[in-house]
């Protein structure tokens, strides 16, 4: 069974829109775990439009499952992660003004830099996941950098799913299989939802963990947070 990590960025975005502490991000994280989530993910960005840097030290001591911090490893981000030492750090090649993640690393062109970053994270016993497109060369490059896992960027899969799920999943099946053969754990994330998640999980048995935020929080508006988390867990079981 792949684990479900709930990305709570959208909860922070709602909180920030009114300048108060409603909803209470820490309480939501606790509730997500109480409802069955097996991890909490945050993705702080330089403009801090949702998760703020000062949210991380408040979340760290209350997350009892797995705490995953993802983002672009600029100096400020690296200091945040190294100072707080989450269970996992997912490296994502975002630009400062990027609305959402939309591509994986070129693990070959950035190999030297990524090796140094990963070595620093490993010194703090932080597991490292590398955000990549389902390209065998990028998967191989991730292995060479020293990453422990890859996170497959599933935006194209979600976009193409209704036009032909067999074609949409094909490159992911190959990438996941290659990663498994190379000893890399396989995570996945971006636009996975109640419609397309089970098929992805069934077709990629190497899958260890999914990180889902936008779709899950949107579904919770209709079904409630507890029910929604249970619905996603059933798809992964």
CATH number of the domain that residue 187 is part of: 3.20.20.70
Average pLDDT over residues 174-188: 98
Average pLDDT over residues 109-117: 97
Q: Kindly tell me if the per-residue pLDDT of 102 is higher than 70.
A: no
Give the pLDDT score at 16.
97
How many structural domains are present in the chain? 1
Average pLDDT over residues 204-214: 98
pLDDT digits 0-9 by tens, 46-87: 889 999 999 999 999 999 999 999 999 999 999 999 999 999
Annotated catalytic sites, by residue? 43, 70, 190
pLDDT digits 0-9 by tens, 117-168: 999 999 999 999 999 999 999 999 999 999 999 999 999 999 999 999 999 9
Q: Kindly tell me if the per-residue pLDDT of 90 is higher than 90.
A: yes
Give the pLDDT score at 96.
62
Give the pLDDT score at 174.
98
Q: What is the CA radius of gyration of the chain?
A: 17
Q: Which domain holds residue 39?
A: 3-236
Q: Kindly tell me if the per-residue pLDDT of 1 is higher than 90.
A: no
pLDDT digits 0-9 by tens, 2-36: 999 999 999 999 999 998 999 999 999 999 999 99
Give the pLDDT score at 190.
95
Give the pLDDT score at 196.
98
């Amino acid at each position: 069974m792949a684990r479900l990590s709930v990305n709570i960025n959208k909860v922070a975005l709602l909180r920030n829109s009114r300048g108060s502490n409603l909803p209470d991000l820490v309480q939501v994280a606790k509730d997500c775990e109480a409802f069955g989530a097996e991890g909490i993910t945050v993705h702080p960005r330089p403009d801090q439009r949702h998760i703020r840097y000062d949210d991380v030290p408040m979340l760290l001591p209350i997350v009892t499952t797995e705490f995953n911090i993802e983002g672009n490893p600029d100096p400020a981000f690296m200091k945040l992660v190294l100072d707080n030492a989450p269970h996992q750090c997912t490296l994502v090649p975002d630009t400062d003004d990027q609305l959402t993640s939309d591509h994986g690393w070129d693990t070959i062109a950035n190999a030297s830099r990524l090796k140094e970053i990963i070595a620093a994270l490993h010194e703090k016993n932080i597991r490292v996941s590398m955000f990549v497109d389902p390209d065998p060369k990028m998967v191989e490059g991730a292995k060479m950098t020293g990453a422990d896992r890859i996170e497959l960027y599933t935006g194209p899969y979600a976009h193409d799913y209704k036009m032909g799920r067999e074609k949409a999943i094909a490159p992911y099946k190959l990438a996941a299989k290659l990663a498994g053969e190379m000893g890399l754990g396989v995570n996945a994330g971006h636009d996975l939802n109640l419609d397309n998640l089970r098929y992805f999980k069934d077709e990629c048995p190497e899958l260890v963990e999914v990180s889902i935020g936008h779709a899950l929080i949107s579904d919770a508006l209709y079904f409630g947070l507890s029910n929604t988390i249970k619905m996603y867990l059933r798809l992964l079981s």
